[in-house]
Structure 1
Amino acid sequence: MRVTRAVALVLLFSCAGCEAPSLGEAVAADHSHAGGGVVTHWTESLELFVVYPPHVRGIASDPWEIHLTWLADWKPVREGRLTLLLRGPGGAREEIVVEVPDQPGVYHATPTLTETGTWRADLTLAARGADHAIPVGQLQVFANEDALPHDVEEPLPGLIALPKEEQWAMPFEVAVAEMRRIPNSIPVTGEITAPARGLAYVSTPVEGLVLVQGPSPATGEAVREGETLALIAPTSLDDSYARMRADVVEAGREADRTERLFAAGAIPERRFEEARHDLDVARAAFEAVGGTGAADGEGGPDPHVYRLRSPIGGVIADRHVAPGEHVAVGTHAFTVVRPDTLWFIARVPARYAEAASGVSGAWFTVEGTDHTHAADRVVSVGSIIEAGSRALPVRFAVSNPGGVLKVGMLAEGHLLLGDPMEGVAVPTGAILEEDGLSVVYVKVGGEAFQRRVVETGPSDGSWTIVHSGVAGGEQVVAVGAYQVRLASLGDVEVSDHGHPH
C-alpha cells in the first residue's frame, strides 16, 4: 500500500504565526505511522516540516526528521544549532541539542520519553545571529506497543507529494493569497519604441573616407550631445563641402580686409557690415553640414576634415561604418538612442477602442522574458483606428533605468481601466493554463500540494484576482508550479516510513 506523509497535513495549520498544531491531531490523520505523525508550521522566518515516529514509554524512538527552510529564499537551513525540548507529565523533561544539520535542511533527533501521556514539543534554532523559537505542538506517549493505534485510513485523494529535497533543489517560492484592489484590464499587443527626440539616425552629408585617426565609439558606448562620432575626409567630385569651406575662408579674409579699411576711414560702415553678413551666411551654410573644423591626428585644426556629430545624448545602438571605409552621401553611419525612457505602444483592438479613453496604466512583458514591466504615464491615446491592424495605438512612457528594454522589442500585456475590483489575489506567475483551465497549486503542508482550478479576474501583471478556488490566507506556489504539476503526473516512491523519494 502506498502512503505518503502528506496525508496528515490537511489538518495542520498553514499560516505564519499560528498557534502550534497538536501532534495528536496528526496521529488521527495518519494512522499509517501507528502513533507517529507529521507537522507543518510557519513562523515569520522559517518553515518547519517534521515527521515524528510513535513513542512508547522508556524506549528510544526512531529518529525524528526535522526539515527547516528559510522563507526568505525557500532554501534549506545549512547551519545552526537546533534544540528539541520535550516536556511531559509530572515535570518530565527531555532536551536534545543537534549542533549542525545532518544534511542541508535536515536535522535528526532520537528522544526517549519516560512518562505515559501528553508531551509538549518545542524547537529553537540558533542561526544567523538570533534564536528562532518554533513551537511544534503536542504528542502522545503510549504505555507499550500494544497501546499504539492500529486503524489505517485510506490517503485523502488529490494530494500531490513533492519532497523537501526536490523543492530545495529547484527555483521555488510560495506566496500567501491576499485581498487586493486591481483595476479591470483588456489584453493588448505592442512594441517598444523610442520617443520622437529619443532616437537619432546619424547619416553622412558628404562623400568621403572615414579616417582611421579619430573618435570611434563602439556599440553600447554612451555619447554626449554634439560629441564627434567620426571624422570624414571629403572626396566628392563636385567638392561641395570643399567649396563651402573655401567660401568661409574667403568671406573671412574679406571681413578682415574691410575691417582694416573701415578702421582707417577708407570705406563706409555699410560696406564693413555687408562683409560681416556674408561671413555669417557662409559659416551658417558650412555648419549646416557639420563644417565646424576638426582635429587631425596631432590635435591641431584641420579644415579639410568633416566632423560627424551626435545630435542627441544617449547610447550608440548601431554602428554601420568603420575606420578606413569610403562612404557616400546619406550613408547611415550611427543610431543613437536615449535609453532611460522609452515608449510602449499598445495596439488596442478596435472593439475595445471606446474603453481605451479611460486607461490609467498598463503592464506588459517583452519577448524572451517573463518579467513584468509597469507603465503608469499615458503619453497619448490615438484618434484613428489603423487600417491594417484594426487597432488603436496608445502610447505609454516607460522608465528603463537598467536598459533592459530595447527599441524594437515586441510586447504583450494589459491596459488597466476604470475603478479597481477588490478580491482574493494570487501572484500572476502562480497561475498555469492546463487544457484551457486556469490552475494554481496550493501548499497544504511541507510536502503536500493540491491542484485547484480557479476563475480569474483582473490582473495588474504581478497579481491576479481569483473569484474561486483559493481562499485568502492560503499558500500558493508562486515559483515552481510547473514542477509541482510534473510531480502530480509522476509515480512517487514511498519508503517504509511514509517519506516520498
Structure 2
Amino acid sequence: MRRMIFLSLVLASSVAARALGAAPGAAPGAPAPNPLPVPPEIVAPLTEAQVRAAGIETQPVEPEAGVGEIVVPGVVTVPPQQLRIVAAPAAGLVETLLVAPDEDVKEGDPIATLKSSDLVESQRAFLHALSEANLASEKLRRDEQLFKEKIIAERRLIVTRAEAAQARAALDERAQILALAGMTDGEISGLRKERKLASSLLVRAPIGGTILQRHGTTGERVQASAPLVTIARLDPIWVNLQVPLSRAVALDSVEKVHLPSAGLEGRLIRVGHTVDSATQSVTAVAEFRPGRSPLRPGQAVQAILRVRGGGASQWRVPADAVVSHRNYNWVFLRVPEGFRAVPVTLVSETPQYASVQGALKAGEKVATRGLLTLLAELAEIESK
C-alpha cells in the first residue's frame, strides 16, 4: 500500500512536492550539517461526509517502548579477509585438479598438480647457485688459512669474503624463487641434498575452507599467477543488508540482526557512508556465526533488525499510515478541521506496523486508507 502511495505521490503536482519536500532529514548515524526548516502545519479541511466519501479510514496511535523491528533484504557474502584465490605459481600444464566445488579442505591439502618447464629451470639455477656458494665457501676457508700463515695479503682475504657473501645471497635468492614457485622447505632441502630435478609441482591450499569455484581445467596450459580455485572460510560470514535511506537513522540503535530462514542471530558491524543512487538505500553489514546452518555465499535472505527504543517519544502506527516522499516520512493526523500532515522519523517497520517518533499523542488517530485524497487536498491548498 505504501509503495503505491509513494509512486502516486511522485506523479502528483510539483506544488504538492514543495509542500511535503521541505521536511528536515538526517544522514545515517548523524544529523544533517544543514537541516532544512520544518514546514508550517498544513491542514486539509474535510467534512465528515467528505471523509466517508473518500473512503478515508483511521486508527489510533499507540505509545511504544522497547524493541522495534525493520525488515530488509540482504545477500550472503564472504568477508574479504577470509577469501583466497589459489593461482598457478609457475607457467605450465595442469595435470590434475584434486578438488571440486563445495568441497571442504584443510590448510596444506593438495589442490592441483602442475608440470612446468619453468620449475625445472628454477631448480637448475638453484643448483648452479648452490655450487657457486660451495665453491666460494671453500675458497674463503682456504684463504683464511693462508692469511693466518701470512702467505697472502689481507686485501685478498677481504675480496674473498665479499665473493662468498655474494654467492650466499644469490643462493638465498634462488631458494626464495623456488618457494614462490610452490616448493616447500622440505622439497628445497631434498633438492639441495639429492640434486634431482622435479618436473611436477604440487599446489596446496593456503587456508582451510570451502572450494567456491574452480577456474582451471585438467589439461589446460596456464601462465604464472593464473587462478586455479577460490577458497573461502565461511565462519563467520557476512550479510550485506540494503536499508532504505528513510530508515537509516535507526541503524545506530540496532541491537541484533535476525535471519528467520536460518534461525541465526548476529550483530551489525558496519554501516555504509554512501547511498545507492538507483535504490536510495544504504548498505549495512551484519556478521553471523553460521555453524551448521546452510548459509551460502550469494544467497538472498530477509533480515530483521531489532531496534531498541530511543530517548524520544516513540509511537506505534499501522504501516500503511506512513507516507514516504523524497526520503522523508509523514502521517496524516485527524483533527476537528480535517487532517494535518505531521513529519515523523521512522525508527522501525514490519509489514503490519511502524514505529515512529514525532509530534503525536496517545489516542490520536492517523489515516490508514484514502491517503491519495489527502495528498490531492494538500496540493490544492498549496496552489491557492
State the TM-score bracket (shorter-chain normalisation): 0.5 to 0.7
What is the Cα deviation at residue 398 of structure 1?
Answer: 0.7
Give 2:136's aligned residue.
258
What is the Cα deviation at residue 216 of structure 1?
Answer: 1.2
Identify the match of residue 189 of structure 1 among 39, 58, 73.
73
Q: Determine whether 1:284 maps to 2:181.
A: no
Give 1:273's aligned residue.
165
Structure 1 residues 244 and 388: CA distance shift in structure 2, 3 A: farther
Task: Report 1:362-381 matches (<5 A).
Answer: 362-365=257-260, 370-376=261-267, 378-381=268-271
Structure 1 residues 323 and 416: CA distance shift in structure 2, 3 A: same
Distance 1:402 1:292 in 2: 34
What is the Cα deviation at residue 186 of structure 1?
Answer: 2.0
Give 1:401's aligned residue.
291
8 Å CA contact 2:264–2:290 kept in 1: the answer is no
Greater Cα offset, 309-318 or 262-271: 262-271
Distance 2:89 2:186 in 1: 15
What is the Cα deviation at residue 203 of structure 1?
Answer: 2.5
SS in 2 for 1:382: strand
Distance 2:102 2:280 in 1: 36
Distance 1:253 1:375 in 2: 59
Distance 1:294 1:325 in 2: 28
Distance 2:351 2:113 in 1: 63
Give 2:221's aligned residue.
326
What is the Cα deviation at residue 314 of structure 1?
Answer: 0.9
Structure 1 residues 207 and 403: CA distance shift in structure 2, 3 A: farther
SS in 2 for 1:400: coil
What is the Cα deviation at residue 372 of structure 1?
Answer: 3.6
More relative contact order, 1 or 2 (CA 8 Å, 6+ apart): 2
Task: Report 1:64-463 matches (<5 A).
Answer: 183-212=67-96, 216-234=98-116, 239=118, 241-265=119-143, 268-292=160-184, 303-365=198-260, 370-376=261-267, 378-419=268-309, 456-457=352-353
Structure 1 residues 216 and 389: CA distance shift in structure 2, 3 A: same
- Percent of residue pairs bearing the same amino acid type: 23
Distance 2:169 2:351 in 1: 76
8 Å CA contact 2:120–2:198 kept in 1: the answer is no
Give 1:163's aligned residue.
none
Structure 1 residues 387 and 234: CA distance shift in structure 2, 3 A: farther
Give 2:122's aligned amino acid. M
**TM-score, L = length of structure 2:** 0.53
Structure 1, unmatched stretches of 5+, are 1-180, 422-453, 460-501
8 Å CA contact 1:182–1:458 kept in 2: the answer is no
8 Å CA contact 2:120–2:197 kept in 1: the answer is no
Distance 1:455 1:342 in 2: 27
Give 1:264's aligned amino acid. R
What is the Cα deviation at residue 407 of structure 1?
Answer: 0.8
Structure 1 residues 316 and 416: CA distance shift in structure 2, 3 A: same
Distance 1:347 1:335 in 2: 26
Count of aligned pairs between the two proteins = 235
Q: Write out per-residue CA displacement over residues 113-169 of structure 1, whole angstroms, 9 at most, x where no aligned residue.
A: xxxxxxxxxxxxxxxxxxxxxxxxxxxxxxxxxxxxxxxxxxxxxxxxxxxxxxxxx
Distance 2:198 2:185 in 1: 5
8 Å CA contact 2:140–2:161 kept in 1: the answer is yes
Give 2:264's aligned amino acid. H
SS in 2 for 1:402: coil
Distance 1:302 1:314 in 2: 32
Give 2:381's aligned residue.
none
Give 2:107's aligned amino acid. E
SS in 2 for 1:278: helix
What is the Cα deviation at residue 192 of structure 1?
Answer: 0.6
What is the Cα deviation at residue 230 of structure 1?
Answer: 0.9
Structure 1 residues 192 and 343: CA distance shift in structure 2, 3 A: same
Structure 1 residues 328 and 233: CA distance shift in structure 2, 3 A: same
Distance 1:343 1:244 in 2: 41
Structure 1 residues 207 and 285: CA distance shift in structure 2, 3 A: closer
Distance 1:245 1:455 in 2: 67
Structure 1 residues 219 and 182: CA distance shift in structure 2, 3 A: farther
8 Å CA contact 1:340–1:401 kept in 2: the answer is yes
Give 1:251's aligned amino acid. A
Give 1:253's aligned amino acid. S
What is the Cα deviation at residue 419 of structure 1?
Answer: 3.0
Q: Write out per-residue CA displacement over residues 415-446 of structure 1, whole angstroms, 9 at most, x where no aligned residue.
A: 2222399xxxxxxxxxxxxxxxxxxxxxxxxx
More strand as a share of residues: 1
Greater Cα offset, 261-270 or 272-281: 261-270
8 Å CA contact 1:183–1:458 kept in 2: the answer is no
More helix as a share of residues: 2
What is the Cα deviation at residue 196 of structure 1?
Answer: 1.6
Distance 2:215 2:351 in 1: 52
